Amino acid sequence: MATVSALTKLIVDKSKCESVCTHLPTYDRSQLKHGIVHLSVGNFHRSHLAYYMDVLASEHGHTDWGIVGVGVRSFDKPMSTVLKAQDGLYTLVTKGTDKNDVNVRVIGSLIRYLFAPDEPEVVLATLAHPNTKIVSMTITESGYDLDMNNPDIQHDLKNSAQPKTAFGFLVHGLDARRRANEKPFTIMSCDNVQQNGEVARNCVLQFAKALNNPELTAYIATKVTFPNAMVDRITPATSDADREYVRKHCGIADAWPVVTEPFVQWVIEEKFCNDRPPLELLSASPYNVLLTEHVEAYECMKMRLLNASHTGMCYIGYLMGYTYIHEIMLDKQIEVYIKDLMDNEVTPTLPPVPGIDLENYKRTLIERFSNPHIKDTALRVCMDGASKFPKFLVPTIVEQLKRGNNPHFCALAVGAWIRYLGGVDEHEKPITLQDALAVELKLSELAIKTKPNAKAILSVPQVFDNLAENQPFANAVERVVQLLYTVGSKETLKQWVNEAPKKD
């Protein structure tokens, strides 16, 4: 059986594995059908959707929901090499705040991996296969900034047999289903984008319309569904220390394990045009899956509290010299800042969230951010700021300004990012910007050219809309940037916390 031989190759110390691993695949992977194709397999997918499908197969005997992973871009090649060598198997390690709270599980739901640049025809054939009921994706926030003039997009519009992009594969795959008179697949975004299903739908339709194929466009518009979803599990990049931990403590030679936190959550819209997994079986803790007709309130809560707080702390924390998120969160001034941001600026803007105790949710976030065993780096969270601010922080800023309030700590978050865009830290060491949209908009060059003036960045509509026109907020951000350049990050944070408006 494929599972046994592949697993045998991974296990280098059977006794350690048997004593530490809480779960190995109990199902025959050779009998596991693929029901899902996932575009852009990263660590989050492997800690979230692939984990859920493994639970359904192992604990509930549902074997129709194996996953075919697809690496879409050239940078997916290393992952492709590893997962193909391991027959899709990998180790998922969850670490809680207590050092003894460790769970080790070998995931078997990823039954095949395709590297699209080498085999686009095989990917298209898999998308067209009637077993494919869902195509999911994690292409990051910036992946939905669809530029129809991008050379790869232009290539995909002219080359239906060999696409290069996620949207090229989706649309040409759907066209193959349409021409074969097959039911379409559901397109399921698992990215941290508000109304991610609707955003994905808009991108897919925009691409389809550019093909000038009215029948295909109508088919997608009327037959294909794009459920909105809120996904949550803090999952950092894999380090060499993680590989060594898995080998030394678990007896497994896994070249790309995943280390994550115990908490996991998925709220998804009940909107599937084809079959779906029996997700209702995963509704209880610790799985926390909720099928609902209304996802918006949960999305809003998670993005404005968790993601906005992450974004708010990472730039100032990096400038202060911290490496990991838990180190940032242990700084008492940061803790005051983040709690104030959540309590006094974000929470008043949130809609009611059914079944959620917001005060408990916020306390849990502080605990999760403070987990010392996850080793989530500030640099990872600092990635793609230009795509994150419009989704995570700008809505709170706009809402507070409408109410006549000048959001004090939101200004600190924005100012710290603008200082970060300056390209060097406080010790004159270069900052490597990992932010496709910021590079495209030349934001770093703009920040350097205009420093310490912040209004030039605030005037970039793709990120901040028209916030530069609000003089009180623009002045607050500019003051943050000036303080960061003159007195440094630690003193700026101290002053900003001390100057926070007092609440009754």
The burial class, CB within 10 Å (0-12 / 13-18 / 19+), for 380 is middle
Q: What is the pLDDT of residue 3?
A: 52
Bridge partners of residue 252, in order along the sequence = 11
In whole angstroms, give the CA distance from residue 270 to residue 200.
Answer: 16
d(CA 219, CA 178): 7
- pLDDT in the model for residue 4: 58
Domains of the chain: 1-292 (3.40.50.720), 298-499 (1.10.1040.10)
Q: Are 220 and 176 in contact (CB under 8 A)?
A: no
Tokens of 439: 């590079």
The pLDDT of residue 142: 84
pLDDT in the model for residue 235: 97
Per-residue pLDDT, 383 = 95
Low-confidence stretches of the chain (pLDDT beneath 50): 1-2
- This prediction has a pTM of 0.93
> Quick one: what percent of the chain has pLDDT higher than 70?
99
Confidence at residue 482, expressed as pLDDT on a 0 to 100 scale: 96
CB 171, CB 219: distance < 8 Å? no
Contact between residue 188 and residue 224 where contact means Cβ atoms under 8 Å apart: no
> Which pLDDT value is given to residue 237?
94
Among 482, 345, 455, CA closest to 410:
345
The pLDDT tens digits for 253-282 are 999 999 999 999 999 999 999 999 999 999
Residues 235, 229 contacting (CB under 8 angstroms): no
Report the SS3 class of residue 173. Answer: helix
